[in-house]
Amino acid sequence: MSGLTSLGAAQAGVSSGIESITDLLVVILDLNPIWWSEQLDNGVENGNGPPSQQYGLAPTLDQILIFLNSYLLIHPGNQVVVLGCLHSRSYFLYPPELINMPTDMPSDSRPEAFRIVNHTVQRAIQHILLQTSPDGEPAAGGEEKRETVFVGALSRSLCYIHRMQRESPKGQFVQGRVLVIEAGPDSSSHYMHFINTIFTAQKMNVKIDACVLGEDSILLQQAVDLTGGLYVKVENPGGVVQVLNSVFILDGAERSTMSVPEKIQVDYRAACFCHQKLIEVGYVCSVCLSVFCAFSPMCSTCQSTFKFMTGIKKRKPTDPTSSVPSPSSSSAAVAAVATKKARNGTGPNSNGKA
């Protein structure tokens, strides 16, 4: 009769009183219109290439919707949230914040719940793209417009997951994860916010997955590596749905039973605070640890002054006026910015090859 007190616990399931776990998947779509239209132009130039070799927003969106439907099909308790990011702003596509839920949908072979999600996402995207037409935007900052900023969407999705966890009834636990589908190139502005968001996701046990359609994204590689997610760069535009349905539909527990793409070498170069450029060797303030690429007499973050080190003077032992810096004053130090990986001990290639 050993373990009597475990008699009840075994019956009750998990000892902390959790009776059911629901999965919440947040998908962040990159709606960068410049990148998407560039793809169409490339397709027109190539002309003779098969249509499946070129990206278009509408067909890719169809494939993503198929993936969402498959995810909802797997388990009745699965929930999905879709955000779109455009011009460094983020919008909730489902549940919609800018439009009302559609009520007059034509019925077809999809279950009603799926149809609602699909139509809402499509209508919301149409609404957003029509509202923010490129002519209305000022012409300045052309280079930044080309880049995708999704950090706002990322933090909003973490807030949403947290809210769902708090609002769920007792005994039900919401397990969230985030899938970022990025098309355009990275933007290294807002790097600080981005890193903070990733650490928050780490604390919340939320995995961040990345499906990259365009160029490799260093930010997403770091996010995936720190939170334990998956990173895949899709080569064939027509095969997006197969990648999504094979890899990204697996939840945390299943990733240990099915083989997933290997971990990649991540480029952990930091971005300097003054120019947001990624650097390998730079200057670090010894008070607040902010990184600079060029020397400056004062740290811009903590306002501490740096003493100018002019080379080692040969000191006479009895000279009381020698300028030995006292330990309390701050000093700039030249340091190699080869930061260790946050998780495991192996360092990255010093060339930063991704």
Partner 1 sequence: MTSAVSSTDPAMVDHKSLYAYLSTLPSSLLENLYRHPNPSLCMAIFRDLTPMAQKFVLRQLFIEQILPKSVFTSWITPEGKKDHDDAVRLLNDLKIWSEAPSTAGLMGWKLNEHFRKGIQAIVVGGGPSWSGDDQPTAEETTPKDIPFIQNYARERWDVVLHFLAGLSGASQISRDTVEVLTNAGLIRGSNSTESGITQNGFRFLLMDTPSQVWRFILAYLHTVPKWGMDLIECISFIFQLSFSQIGKHYSTIGFSSNQLRTLQHFREYGLIYMRSKKSSRYYPTNLVVNLSAGAGLNTSAFSEGYIIVETNYRIMVYTDSPLKIAVVSYFSDMLYRFPNLALGMITRESIRRALMKGISTDEIIKFLRMHAHPQMRENNPVLPSTLTDQIKLWEMERERCVFADGVLYNNFLSQKDFEMLRNYASDLGVAMCSNAANKVVVVSPEGHDQVRAFWKRQKKE
Q: Applying CB under 8 A, which residues contact partner 1? A: 1, 4-5, 7-9, 11-12, 15-17, 20, 66, 69-70, 73-77, 107-115, 118, 169-172, 241-242, 245-246, 249-250, 254, 256-259
Query: Least CB distance from residue 167 to partner 1, whole Å?
Result: 12
Q: Which one, 18 or 294, has the nearer CB to partner 1? A: 18
Q: Which one, 176 or 282, has the nearer CB to partner 1? A: 176
Degrees to nearest 5, angle at CA 250 with 245 and 253: 170
Q: Which one, 173 or 339, has the nearer CB to partner 1? A: 173
Query: Least CB distance from residue 80 to partner 1, whole Å?
Result: 13
Q: Using DSSP, state whether 166 is helix, strand or coil.
A: helix
Query: Least CB distance from residue 258 to partner 1, whole Å?
Result: 6
The sign of the torsion formed by the CA atoms of 164, 166, 167, 168 equals positive
Degrees to nearest 5, angle at CA 225 with 223 and 228: 100
Distances (CA, A) of 124 to 82, 95, 112, 131, 152: 10, 10, 18, 11, 18
Q: Which one, 122 or 276, has the nearer CB to partner 1? A: 122
Query: Least CB distance from residue 213 to partner 1, whole Å?
Result: 18
Query: Least CB distance from residue 109 to partner 1, whole Å?
Result: 3
Q: Which one, 72 or 219, has the nearer CB to partner 1? A: 72
b/e burial code for range 292-310 (CB count within 10 A of at least 16 → b): bbeeeeebeeeeeebeeee
Q: Which helix (H) or strand (E) holds 45?
A: helix 33-46
Query: Least CB distance from residue 225 to partner 1, whole Å?
Result: 20
Q: How far apart are CA 249 and CA 50, in angstroms?
A: 28
Q: Using DSSP, state whether 131 is helix, strand or coil.
A: helix
Distances (CA, A) of 95 to 171, 201, 234, 249, 261: 24, 21, 27, 20, 31
Token digits for 348?
A: 């990255």
Query: Least CB distance from residue 172 to partner 1, whole Å?
Result: 6
Q: Which one, 73 or 204, has the nearer CB to partner 1? A: 73
Q: Which one, 78 or 304, has the nearer CB to partner 1? A: 78
Place of tokens 């933090």: 155
Burial of 251 (0-12, 13-18, 19+ CB in 10 A): middle
